[in-house]
Amino acid sequence: MGSRGGDDKPGKDFGKQYKPNQKHIESAAGILVLGLTSIYEAMNDMADGHVDNDKLIEGMFTKAKHGSGHDQGPGAGGHR
């Protein structure tokens, strides 16, 4: 696969510094990915909670619709 930094002097210098720290860098990147995934999931959960709360509040301030056929007033559906 070749050297990590290239075959010129700066690349070789980089490779010498990178190789001993490679596992630490990969581990840190993995931890970062897990943290960002956790934040993403928490933000989605929070958004869902806000949507649910908005619907609940909307229901408190919305008049109920009548005329569903269940309550047609006295004498309807008739007992005689």
First CA to last CA distance, the chain: 93
Q: Are 43 and 49 in contact (CB under 8 A)?
A: no
Number of C-alpha atoms within 13 angstroms, CB side, residue 72? Answer: 8
Q: Name the pTM for this structure.
A: 0.50
Q: What φ, ψ does residue 18 adopt, rounded to 5°?
A: -75, -50
- Is a pLDDT exceeding 50 seen at residue 14? yes
Helices marked H in 1-80: 9-60
Tell me the per-residue pLDDT of 29-76, one tens digit each, with 9 for 90 and over.
Answer: 999 999 999 999 999 999 999 989 998 898 888 887 776 555 555 555
